[in-house]
Structure 1
Amino acid sequence: METTLSERFAILGHPVRLDVLRLLIRRHPDLLPAGEIAEVLGLKPNTLSAYLADLLRAGLITRTRSGTFLRYGADLVGISAMTGALWTDCCLGRPDLCPPTAIMEHPGDIPMTAPRHYRVLFICTGNSARSIFAESILRKIAGDRFAAFSAGTKPQSEMNPLAVKMLQSKGYEIESLRSKNVAEFQGPEAEPFDFVFTVCDRAANEACPPWPGQPISAHWGTPDPVKSQGTEAERMLAFQHAYGMLRNRITAFAALPLEALDRISLQHALDDIARNQEGSQ
C-alpha cells in the first residue's frame, strides 16, 4: 500500500527517525550497516530496526544486501518526490509560498555560480592529515581557480608528523599549514564557501549547523592513516594510500566544467567521484 504524504511527514515527525535520515544523507553515497547507524546514534538494535522499517515504508531510505550484511542509504529520489509533492499539494506550485530555492519541481534549473575563485573547505575530525592533504593538493594542482582551506571538528594541537613528512617529500609548501577548528570558518562574519567536503566518516556523522550561502557538499570518506600501526615504513604506506585516494578525487573534481553544470548535475558528479575514484600508491 502506498504511503500518503501525511503519513511520510508523520514518520519524519519523530525526532530519532529524522536523525537516522539526516545521518544517511550526511554520509551519502555511503551505505551503512545497521550496527554502525545504531552506534553513531546510540540506539538499541531492535529500536533502530523499527525506525528503519518505517523509513523504508515511506520511501525515504534504501536497503541493499552486501554479502551477509544489509546496508542502508538515503533514497534521494524518494526524498525529492516527497518535497515535490509538498510543493504541489500544499503550496499549489506557488513560488511565493514555497520558494523554489528550497522546494522545487525542477531543482536542476538553478545553475552553479561562477566566481573568479571557488572557495572550498575540507573537513575531518582532527585536521592533522587527510583534510590537510586535500587542502594542499587542491591548492597545488588548481590554485588559480580554487581557494582551498581545511579544518577539524575536534582538531589536534598540531599536524601529524608523518603527514608533514609526506607532503615535504612531494614538494608541497607546508609553512602556512596548521590544524584549525571549523569554528574559524563559521559565524556571521565568515565568508561563504562554494563547496564543503567531509573526508572522514566521524566528521560526516556529526550534526553541524547549515553553512551560509548553501555551498554544495559531499562526503569523500577516506581511511584514517593516523590509526595505522607497525613500522614507520608500514605507516607511511597508509598515508600514501590516503593521499593517493584524495589526489585522484581532487584531480577529478578540478577537471569538472563547473560553469556548465547546474547544481543537481554537479552534486551527482561529486557523488560519483566518491564512488569511483580509487587510491593509488
Structure 2
Amino acid sequence: MNILVLCTGNSARSILLESIFNTLGATRTRAYSAGSNPTGKVHPQSLVLLGELGHDTNGARSKSWDEFAAADAPEMDIVITVCASAAGETCPVWPGAPVRTHWGVDDPAAADQPDWDQAFRTAYITLEKRAKALLNLPFETMDPAELTQQLKRIGEIV
C-alpha cells in the first residue's frame, strides 16, 4: 500500500512519518512525503533523531507534492496531511482514488534550537503511535469507508 504524507515544508513531520512507515511497515507499506511549499532541505534535527532511532535517512529529501501528481508517479492508496495548513490547501489530483485523512501534529521545527530534541521526539512519538495503530489493522482488505473511519480515529491518538 502506498502512503503519501503531506505537510507544507516537507522538512520535519512528514519526513518523520514517511520514515516510520518505511521502517515499521516495510513489508506492507511504501511511504513517500512531500510539501505544498517545500523548504528544499530536511530539517537537521529530523535527520539526527531518525539516525539515533535506527532509521535509514539516505533518501530523505524535501520535495514538492507536484512530483506525486505526475502521470508517472506511484499511485497512492492513502494521503495523510500532518499539518493544518496542508490539510486546508487544495491538493493536486492524485492518480487513483486515495483515501485522505488528517493527522495533525505540532510543528517541531517551530521550536527554538535548544528545545529541538524534545519537540522532535514528542512529534515522533505521536506519529509512531498512529503508524503502529494503522499497521495493526488489516487495512489492505478494508473498504474505503471503513479505512477512512479508522484513519480518522487514529488521527486522534496523542
Partners of 1:189 and 1:170 lie apart in 2 by 33
Partners of 2:36 and 2:125 lie apart in 1 by 23
Aligned to 1:181: 64
Aligned to 1:167: 50
Following TM superposition, by how much is the alpha carbon of 1:146 offset from its aligned partner in structure 2, in angstroms? Answer: 0.7
Partners of 2:147 and 2:68 lie apart in 1 by 23
Match of 1:209 among 69, 75, 92: 92
Letter aligned with residue 65 of structure 2:
V
Following TM superposition, by how much is the alpha carbon of 1:230 offset from its aligned partner in structure 2, in angstroms? Answer: 5.5
SS at match of 1:167: helix
Q: Deviations over 1:225-278 (max 9, x none)?
A: 0001262xx221111111111000001011111244221111100000012x11
Partners of 2:118 and 2:71 lie apart in 1 by 41
Matched, 1:258 2:139: yes
Letter aligned with residue 208 of structure 1:
C
| Residues matched between the structures, number | 158
TM-score, length-scaled by structure 2: 0.95
Aligned to 1:269: 150
SS at match of 2:128: helix
Q: Which runs of 4+ in 1 moved over 3 A?
A: none
Structure 1 residues without counterparts, runs of 5 or longer: 1-117
Letter aligned with residue 249 of structure 1:
R
Matched, 1:193 2:76: yes
> Residues 217-232 of structure 1: matches in 2 within 5 Å?
217-229=100-112, 231=114
Letter aligned with residue 121 of structure 2:
Q
SS at match of 1:143: coil
Letter aligned with residue 212 of structure 1:
P
Distance verdict in 2 for CA 1:230–1:164, change over 3 Å: closer
Partners of 2:116 and 2:9 lie apart in 1 by 18
Aligned to 1:37: none
Following TM superposition, by how much is the alpha carbon of 1:176 offset from its aligned partner in structure 2, in angstroms? Answer: 1.3
SS at match of 1:123: strand
Aligned to 2:128: 247
Identical-residue share of aligned pairs (%) = 39
Greater Cα shift, 123-132 or 207-216: 207-216
Letter aligned with residue 264 of structure 1:
A
Query: Which of structures 1 and 2 has the bigger CA Rg?
Result: 1
Partners of 2:97 and 2:44 lie apart in 1 by 35
Structure scoring higher RCO (CA < 8 A, sep ≥ 6) equals: 2
Following TM superposition, by how much is the alpha carbon of 1:217 offset from its aligned partner in structure 2, in angstroms? Answer: 0.9
Partners of 1:138 and 1:250 lie apart in 2 by 6
TM-score, length-scaled by structure 1: 0.54
Partners of 1:129 and 1:160 lie apart in 2 by 6
Contact kept in structure 1, 2:69 and 2:93, CA below 8 Å: no
Q: CA RMSD in A?
A: 1.2
> Residues 113-132 of structure 1: matches in 2 within 5 Å?
118-132=1-15
